Chain A
Amino acid sequence: MSMRDEILAKVRGAVSSTPVEKRHMAVQQRMDELEVGVQPYEISKKAEMIDLFVQKAEAAAATVVKCAASKVEGEVLDYLRSNNLPLEIKTGENPDLERYKIGKHKLLSVETGRTHGDDMVTISTAACGVAETGTLALTSGADNPSSLNFLPENHIVILKQSDIALHQEAVWELLREKYGKGGMPRTMNFITGPSRSADIEQTMILGAHGPIRLHIIVVSN
């Protein structure tokens, strides 16, 4: 018997006296039903959801601005200037950014691709904003390489207001729609505020290995 089969046989012998066929049915049922558990909020109005998202993201030390699609590039420039950063950004091969006309402004230099750690500022787009915790959901791909989320000191994330959902489970529905049941992108990142560590004397300090600042631009439709 292979090591795999030995371990599985040992587990099978220990877990239950119920016949394995019966247990297979119970497991299949659970995988089909995808039952949602206990959730913390009951909010149905979109405006309240958006407020909650902003409140929670700010509580996690992210900065948030809201603007119209036509103003996104202006917000990016404002952010760079107010933080005394060079007017250069790295972003993925992201068709969404065309819509926001990022890079049309001749002051801002835009490079596309992954980052190797020498970019000060990167821009990504979020697939979803989760209001319950102020969390962004980002899926990896040519449009949003994961290195952009972790290597720079400043990470700007653009989130469409219509993509804000109340609870985390909304993201799973979205992924199943896009990648098929059981399918996933290589990496799905939940990001809640900039990186931090409390490993020295339990004092929470922002800016551990990931970004020191996380700036979220919520785009109204």
Chain B
Amino acid sequence: MKITTPEFKKNAVEALQDEQLQKAMRHVRGNFIKKRADAAAAIDNFEAMRDRARDIKNHTLDNLDIYLEKFEERVQAQGGHVHWAATAKDAREIFLKICQDKGAKSVTKGKSMITEEIELNDFMIENDIEPVETDLGEYIIQLRGEHPSHIIAPAVHLNMDQVRDEFREHHTHLPEDRPMEDPQSLLTEARGILRQKFINADIGVTGANFLIAETGTSVIVTNEGNGDLTQILPKVHVVFASLEKVVPTLEDMSQILRVLARSATGQEMSVYTTLSSGPKRQSDLDGPEEYHVILLDNGRSSMLGTEFQEMLRCIRCGACMNHCPVYHALGGHAYGWVYPGPMGSVLSPGLTGVDKTGHMPNASTFCGRCQEVCPVRIPLPKLMRNWREKEFEQHLSPSSHRRNLKLWAWVTKRPGLYRLVTKVSRLGLSVMSGSKGYASWLPLAGEWTKHREMPQPEGGTFMSEWQKRGGKS
């Protein structure tokens, strides 16, 4: 998808003025946070589970080359195929070759963020192959010609009436007076329509939540069952997975599963966790005849061994965006690329280059909630700050921004001057506030005060309060 991150400010203004979006985002604020908190509190050792999940991912990343080789060996031993793709283009071409070999015309898809990353759907259409998204949320946004606005709840930016309008427009073969008044009837309608698509598909594509080195297994975690129908019914199952999805053993996967669903939706376990290994066996009555795994790098190996390696621990639960005040206010589309929210703000510059999506890590207040809830303890604010530094070093930030930062740095390096400036500012703020107790306009901060008030500072400066309490300067 086209990167619109450089227009982040414009995207943000539009998002804030979008009434439908603002209405939809209220569901995120309420639901996700409470459910996760309840699930974490329901067991005694959730924090210990997070520690161990982090350690498993760290160990795997430190030995990623070996685990990938082991995974490949096991897949092949079970009659499956592994393909390695350095770039998005390589992955698309490998997939096209598989489609052409099979003469495939219709491809059902389970939910997969990396197929968004490599723009697989557009590529399929260009090559006369019909991609059918089967996750309910993905199906809705495919009808609308949109991209997911959340990594696990792709249509979270929409309200029910918008879904109903879309179904009315596209499902014209159904009676006009059919019941469409609640989510249940809309879900039933989508279920009926997609049923035949599942059965008719030539190839099924899924992502992977995990790859297991021990057994050469790919794993998907879902609630709807669409991912399973996608991979059981067609003759060929193609898995798209990025390199960092591998874990050593089945036991290691169990450990991470315990924090995944709790962090994502507050469930103890998602409805379906499916382990797929190779093609169907001789005695099997169903299942695919061919099993392919396309391993995608697309920039990840360049993050290994750097300060951003920790980001590759991410298990895509979405907890960081569910708890992010900026995401709550704007939704996912304003960020301008595939991965939104705090995890997207760290991952995207790593995959696309800081020159293209470097604005994303600026969209944070550094409140720290993302790090507090991350099941694998990724220090997201720290990593966003690292990207901001890179952006500054590479002279990518606007000149006014750079000038002000330099000025600020110059002042802070001179403690006497800094104290004088804070003293004067405090006085100035008090005068500007008058009797109201807050300032509605401030020089050089007009954009900021347009939407908020600056409260009058209480007490003296930090240093004067410090000295009052007997502290030494």
| Interfacial residues, chain A to chain B (CB-CB below 8 A) | 2-4, 6-8, 10-16, 20, 23-24, 26-27, 30-31, 34-38, 40, 56, 60, 92-93, 113-114, 116-117, 132-135, 140-142, 145-147, 149-151, 167-169, 172, 175, 182-203, 205, 207-211
Contacts and interface: CB of A to CB of B under 8 A. Distances in A.
Given A23-B66, A200-B160, A202-B31, A172 B250 contact: yes
B224 A195 contact: yes
B85 A3 contact: yes
Which among A27, A134, A142 has the greatest number of chain B C-beta atoms within 10 A? A27
Which among A36, A196, A199, A202 has the greatest number of chain B C-beta atoms within 10 A? A199
B243 A190 contact: no
B45 interface: yes
B63 A184 contact: no
Interface in B50-99: 52, 56, 59, 61-70, 74, 77-78, 84-86, 90
Interface in B245-286: 248-252, 254-255, 257-258, 265, 267-281, 283-286
Contacts, number: 270
A153 B363 CA distance: 45
A190 B269 CA distance: 9
B154 interface: yes
Contacts of B155: 199-200
Nearest to A196: B223
A11 B215 contact: no
Given A37-B251, A169-B251, A201 B287 contact: no
Contacts of A146: 228, 232, 286-287
Contact of A113 (B257, B273, B285): B285
Majority secondary structure of chain A interface residues (helix, strand, loop or mixed): loop
B406 interface: no
Contact of A8 (B45, B69, B163, B280): B69
A102 to B, nearest CB: 18
Give the interface size bracket for B toward A: 35 or more
B223 A186 contact: no
Contact of A151 (B229, B254, B301): B229
B228 A208 contact: no
B294 to A, nearest CB: 11
Contact of B305 (A14, A167, A198): A14
A186 B225 contact: no
B225 A187 contact: no
Given A15-B305, A27-B70, A114-B286, A7 B86 contact: yes
A9 to B, nearest CB: 8
B81 to A, nearest CB: 12
B217 A184 contact: yes
A193 B135 CA distance: 18
B153 interface: yes
A140 B281 CA distance: 9
B287 A186 contact: yes
Interface stretch (B6-14, B185-193, B324-332, B448-456): B185-193
A142 B282 CA distance: 9
B27 interface: yes
B199 A116 contact: yes
B249 A31 contact: yes
A210 B272 contact: yes
Contacts of A195: 223-225, 271-272
A172 B251 contact: yes
18 contacts: A6-B86, A14-B301, A14-B302, A30-B248, A35-B251, A38-B49, A167-B254, A186-B281, A187-B274, A188-B275, A192-B269, A192-B272, A195-B223, A199-B135, A199-B136, A199-B137, A209-B194, A210-B225
A23 B63 contact: yes
Contacts of A16: 62-63, 305
B159 A201 contact: yes
B367 interface: no
B187 A60 contact: no
B243 A7 contact: yes
A27 B269 CA distance: 28
A148 B442 CA distance: 67
A205 B287 contact: no
A186 B254 contact: no
Contacts of A7: 84, 86, 243, 295, 297, 301
Nearest to B233: A147
A195 B136 CA distance: 12
Contacts of A10: 297, 301-302
B160 A3 contact: no
A184 B251 contact: no
B427 interface: no
Contacts of A2: 84
B173 to A, nearest CB: 19
A30 B27 CA distance: 43
A193 B232 contact: no
Contact of B63 (A26, A37, A149, A172): A26
A182 B249 CA distance: 9
A16 B60 CA distance: 11
B112 to A, nearest CB: 15
A135 to B, nearest CB: 6
A4 B229 CA distance: 31
Contact of B269 (A3, A135, A208): A135
Given A3-B85, A133-B268, A198-B265, 5 more contacts: A16-B63, A114-B286, A133-B269, A183-B78, A201-B183
Interface string B437-454: 000000000000000000
